Amino acid sequence: MPKEVVMALQLQTDGSHLILASTSSARRALLQAAGLAFDVIPARIDEGAIKSAARAEGASPEDVAILLAELKAARVALQRPEALVIGADQILVCDDKWFDKPTTLSAARAQLEQLRARAHTLVTAVVCQRRESRLWHHVASPRLTMREFSDDFLDAYLAIEGAAITSSVGGYRLEGPGIHLFDRIEGEHSAILGLPLLPLLAFLRQHRALLG
């Protein structure tokens, strides 16, 4: 039996069934590294339309991140009523401007140029849902300050990372070469990667999905 499965069986209680409602490879890797056994069922929602409508109504980044995380979890929870479903979302905010995932390398370059030498916040929400009920939610707001990097560095960084950075709302992978972009980082590392792991694990213990 693989080592990660043995660890999961030791940490998780009998009968606990977790599902991650996300396409994020970083979130999946975080749960796997923590030794959890779970299924992955991505939830397809129109994030852009929901985000735009909510912001037009005056919602805060925190409110919108929770809303999106809950919608993802709720959609999967209706399909799998026996499971505890984890949904998550992340919004990058810099000087009141909200950023989405860059769709191309040129868009990623433009975004990184806007973030250069400035601080931004990664508003990161996680929701746990069973059937129609939201059981728990949490919002973390790590703050990161980019250094004044050169255009030559940016060229080299984009060449190294390639299309991989279009999967991140920041246009960078902090777990990879993206660490070179920063002067200062404040907040839980896992929350920066998209899933506030310490509070999530605390909830799972409280909910008796994990051993206490």
Distance from CA of residue 52 to its chain's centroid?
A: 19
Mean per-residue pLDDT of the chain: 93
**Cα dihedral sign for 56, 57, 63, 65?**
negative
Which tens digits make up the pLDDT trace of 156-192?
A: 999 999 999 999 999 999 999 999 999 999 999 999 9
Judge whether 118 and 146 are in contact, CB under 8 Å.
yes
What's the pTM? 0.91
Which tens digits make up the pLDDT trace of 56-93?
A: 999 999 999 999 999 999 999 999 999 999 999 999 99
What pLDDT is recorded for position 92? Answer: 97
Q: Report the amino acid identity of residue 149.
A: F
What pLDDT is recorded for position 76? Answer: 97
Query: Average of pLDDT values for 100-108?
Result: 94
Q: Tell me which of 89, 151, 152, 183 is the catalytic residue.
A: 89
Query: Average of pLDDT values for 119-126?
Result: 98
Domain parsing of the chain, residue ranges = 3-206
What pLDDT is recorded for position 11? Answer: 83
Task: Please determine, for residue 20, whether its predicted confidence score (pLDDT) is greater than 60.
Answer: yes
Residue 57, both tokens: 């109504």
Fold exhibited by the domain 3-206:
Maf protein (3.90.950)
Q: Which residue has the higher pLDDT, 14 or 29?
A: 29
Model confidence at 22, in pLDDT bands (50, 70, 90)? very high
Task: Please determine, for residue 15, whether its predicted confidence score (pLDDT) is greater than 80.
Answer: no
What pLDDT is recorded for position 8? Answer: 52
From the list 24, 13, 65, the residue with the least C-alpha distance to 190 is 24
Model confidence at 1, in pLDDT bands (50, 70, 90)? very low
Spatial distance between the Cα atoms of 90 and 148, rounded to a whole number of angstroms: 24
Is 89 in the active site? yes
Report the percent of the chain where pLDDT is more than 90.
87
Task: Please determine, for residue 5, whether its predicted confidence score (pLDDT) is greater than 80.
Answer: no
From the list 61, 62, 209, 55, the residue with the least C-alpha distance to 128 is 209
